Structure formats: C-alpha cells, structure tokens
Structure 1
Amino acid sequence: MATGHALSDRRDAEPGDAAADLPHILVVDDDGRLRELLRRFLSDNGFRVSVAGDAAEARARMAGVSYDLMVLDVMMPGESGVELTRDLRRRERIPILMLTAMGEAEDRITGLESGVDDYLAKPFEPRELLLRIRTILRRVGEPAMPQAAATAAGEVRFGAFRFDLGQNILWRGSAPVRLTEAEATLLRAFAMAPGVTFTREDLVDGSAVNGGTRTVDVQITRLRRKIEPDPKFPRFLQTVRGKGYVLRLES
C-alpha cells in the first residue's frame, strides 16, 4: 500500500491551527508500514498523530511535546514497550494503549501491571482500536470515581463480582460466571471505562457488539440477567436516558 509523501512529511500542527485542538497521539512501533497505516487511519478519524520507531525516538519526541495518549508496540528492538512503560510511569502519566502480538493471559497481565491503560492484540480491527482510544481519553478526562479503580492485577470489582481484564473472565466470589464471547467482549468495554457512558453507536463502531444498535440492547439485557440482582432495576449496568449505557461500580 502506497502511503505517499504527504503522510511521511506531515508535521505537528502549529499553535492556532485547527488541528491543534485535536487529541494528539504518539504511535511508537518499529514496523514502518504499520506506523504509517495508523497515522493515516487515526488522522482520518479526528486525531493529530506523531510517530516514533523505537523507545529512544519516543523519548526525544516527548521531550518537546505533550501528548494525550501513546499507542505503543510491546516488541521493539532494544527497549521493549513494557520496559518503556515502566520507566515512563516513574514520572509520566500519559495514557498508554499497548499493541501486542502475544495473546497469553500472563503477557497481557504483565502489560497491565507495568502501567498501561489497555492493550490490544495484533492483528486487530481498526474500529476496535478507535473504541479503546476514545474510551481511555474519556476516562482520563472525567473526574475519578472512588469505586472505579482496577486492581494492579487487572481486575474491576462491582458488588459480588470481579472481572479479570487479563483473561476476560467474570467471577462471582470464587466461581466463574459463564459468559458468551459476545457478553465478555461487551462487559470488557464497560469494565475498561467504569463511569463512562457509551452510546449504542460507540459499542457498534468499536466492535464491542457485532450487529446494529438494536443488537446492543439485546446483549445488554442478556448481560444484566447475569450480573444484576434485579435486571428490571439495574444497579451496575445502568441506562443513561437519551445517551446510552454506563457501568457503575458499587461495593
């Protein structure tokens, strides 16, 4: 796929440019083709994008620019994405979405424990990348909720339940709750951003739900039957009238 000189020569927006108000993302990946594809895709979807080929270049860019989010590959020559994240977390709070080709639960948990905000396994659906990015940006842009913290092990707790973000497993006490793949994917989207309202379109466009907006309502109803004491009066997975749905974490 030809990327063209316009992509590789594109510069950061100057103050006063319309693009200067867009969220600024730093993509760090040693795969040049993927960097350019991500630059084009994210630019076309409302973001300002800079790229770096490794950890050293990423640090050089961050020395002069404040970014809203980093998309970071885990496997890079020299310093890995996990190592870079651990170092950045000593002094930086930039949100990080990690890209990984490693699908094992232990590898995903290692990424979460290093301080990344979310991870996405390669190959990935571009629409899901957008959902993850928008979810992170919305989460960091809203006031923190006391009950909305994931544990260091990558878990989100609500009521008698805990959702393991590393393995996509819902537990009630010590017993796993059987979820379909679709239900687990939907619950994960909410668990990554408790307190954030998702529209039906957000969930469909980000591939949290396969199908149309009506499918979202069906999946929400099914999920509520498994997590709510009374599905007719949801305590956790609530409807926000005129907007969509939100996961509220309560003790």
Structure 2
Amino acid sequence: MTADATEPEAPAAVSTDAGPDAHILVVDDDERIRTLLKRYLTRSGFYVTAARDAAHARRLLAGLEFDLLVVDVMMPGEDGLSFTRDVRPTLPSPILLLTARGEAEDRIAGLEHGADDYLAKPFEPRELLLRIGAILRRTQPPAPRPEGPRSLSLGEVRYDVTRGELWRGDVPIRLTSTEAALMRIFARTPHAPVDRQTLLAEMDDAQERAVDVQVTRLRRKIEADPRAPRYLQTVRGSGYMLAPD
C-alpha cells in the first residue's frame, strides 16, 4: 500500500481469528495512507483509531487502550523507531512497524527497538491483515494446562506457566507478545531443545535472525548474566532449551 494506491477491498476470505473487539491504533503522517488503512481495517472487522504523528499517538495512549499499534517508521519529527523504543517499556500492546526499508539490518533494528513485527512498503493489504492476525493470536492468553508444573523456577525469576507471566519476586516482568510466545513454547518442553524451525513456524516469523534477536532480549529479563546464560541455553546444532531449576 503506497500513497498512490487505490482503496483496497476488504477480503472476506481472510480470517485473522482475532475476534471482533480488537482495537488498533494506526500512526502515520501521510493522511491518505492513514485514511486508507483505517477504512480497510475497519471493514475487516477491527476498531481503528488513527494518529497523525508520534505526539498525537501519545495523547491517545494516555486515555485509551489498544490491542495493537501499526506505526510508520519514516515520520517527520520523532520517527517510528524512536517512538517504539520510548513507549515499549510501559506499553504492553504489540507494535507492527511499516518501513520503506527492506534490508535485514533495518528490520532487525526495528525488533531491537521493541517492535513485534515489521512489514516493508509497498505491501499488499492482505498481507498486513494476515500479519495483524498472527500477532493478535500470539497475544491471546494461553489455554490452562492441567498437566505439568504450574510454574518454573529460573533462579530469582519465576515463570507462571498457566498465566504465561514472568515474575521476579512479587514484581512482574513485562514481556512483549513475541517474548511471551517464546516462553510458552520453551515451557511446554523444559530441558528439551527446541529447534529454530519450530520457533519460526509457531511464531509466524520468516527470519531466523529475528529469533536470535528475541532470545537475546528474553535472556536479559531472565538471566543474571545474559552473556553466560544458565536457564535459556543455546544447544549447538539443535536451537535453544529452557533449563529451569
């Protein structure tokens, strides 16, 4: 979708499994793109609010809760990367970045700033809808598991398997939707390696490097020394393994 794009039709055949109540905040300085995205996503079953820049988005976030943010990277003033990095520590909502840069390093930079996914311009509206659906599915609370331990001890950190929450003592540790998805995957089979292809398939991600970036970020929240991980280990030739006490 670009500035000279015609307004797309909402594809009834595409299902996001996200439910009818998901509220999306679109942040883009281009009024035409902002309007097209709002109309398209609204007709696809979402509640949509639009912001013209980062400052406008902050005012909306101060009074409203959103299930997902779609943020353009190339905005005047505060760009999308800076905005994402600044709001990420206190914002639980997942963030999808729209970027005109398709290079791997630019995409990785978006993930390192706290984004949950990225989509390079120009893009097909159908792909945007599918990516939004994949992100929202990852953020849904996990179904209760009657079998297995209800919590895993990771030194000073405790992972509540049933609720999908990470705690240090009585203080919750905020996880992005991608980090939460990783923890759920690893917690299903503690002390057993999970290969990268399994992680890619379950996280709806097409970049192996992106998995490594997310694991590195997750280690910072779990490990006393992320450079020498004790609990989220790399298994040479096999991927990664969660090794609770």
C-alpha displacement of 1:191: 3.3
- Give secondary structure in 2 for the equivalent of 1:103: coil
**TM-score, normalised relative to structure 2:** 0.55
Cross-structure match for 1:184: none
Displacement of 1:189 after TM fit?
6.3
Q: Please name the residue that 1:70 is paired with.
A: 69
Please tell me the residue identity of whatever aligns with 2:112. E
Tell whether the 8 Å contact from 2:26 to 2:48 is kept in structure 1 after alignment. Answer: yes
Q: Is the 1:26–1:49 contact (alpha carbons within 8 Å) kept by the matching residues of 2? A: yes
2:32 alignment partner, SS class: helix
In the alignment of these two chains, the number of paired residues is 151
Find the counterpart in structure 1 of residue 129 from structure 2. Answer: 130
How has the CA–CA distance of structure 1 residues 2 and 191 changed in structure 2, closer, same or farther, with 3 Å as cutoff? closer
SS at match of 1:72: strand
Equivalent position to 1:191, from 199, 203, 211: 203
Match of 2:113 in 1: 114
The 8 Å contact of residues 138 and 203 in structure 2, kept in 1 or not, is answered as: no
CA contact (8 A) 2:95 2:117 kept: yes
Number of the residue aligned with 1:51: 50
How far does residue 56 in structure 1 lie from its aligned partner after superposition?
A: 0.1
| Larger RCO (CA within 8 A; separation ≥ 6) | 2
- The alignment-based identity, stated in percent, is 55
Distance 1:95 1:138, change over 3 A: same
Aligned-partner Cα distance in 1 for 2:130–2:200: 12
Q: Tell me the residue number matched to 2:92.
A: 93
Q: Aligned AA for 2:185?
A: A
CA contact (8 A) 2:29 2:53 kept: yes
Q: What is the alpha-carbon root mean square deviation over aligned residues?
A: 3.0
How far residue 92 of structure 1 moved from its aligned partner, in angstroms, is: 1.1
Equivalent residue for 1:162?
196
Give the drift of 1:188: 5.5
Distance 2:124 2:241 in 1: 32
CA distance, structure 2, for counterparts of residue 64 and residue 72 of structure 1: 18
2:31 paired residue number? 32
Distance 1:2-1:107 versus aligned 2 partners, 3 A rule: closer
Instruction: Provide the rounded CA distance (Å) in 1 between the counterparts of 2:37 and 2:128.
Output: 10
Match of 1:148 among 185, 197, 209: 185
Deviation (angstroms), 1:250: 7.2
Q: Which amino acid aligns with 1:162?
A: R
Q: Counterpart of 1:84?
A: 83
Q: Which runs of 5+ in 2 are unaligned?
A: 8-19, 143-163, 165-180, 187-191, 206-239
Name structure 1 gaps, 5 residues minimum. Answer: 4-20, 150-157, 164-169, 171-186, 194-248
Aligned-partner residue type, residue 59 of structure 1: R
2:36 and 2:73 map into 1 onto residues whose CA distance is 18
Deviation, structure 1 residue 159? 4.9
Q: What's the counterpart of residue 15 of structure 1?
A: none
1:148 shift after superposition: 3.4
Distance 1:62 1:101, change over 3 A: same
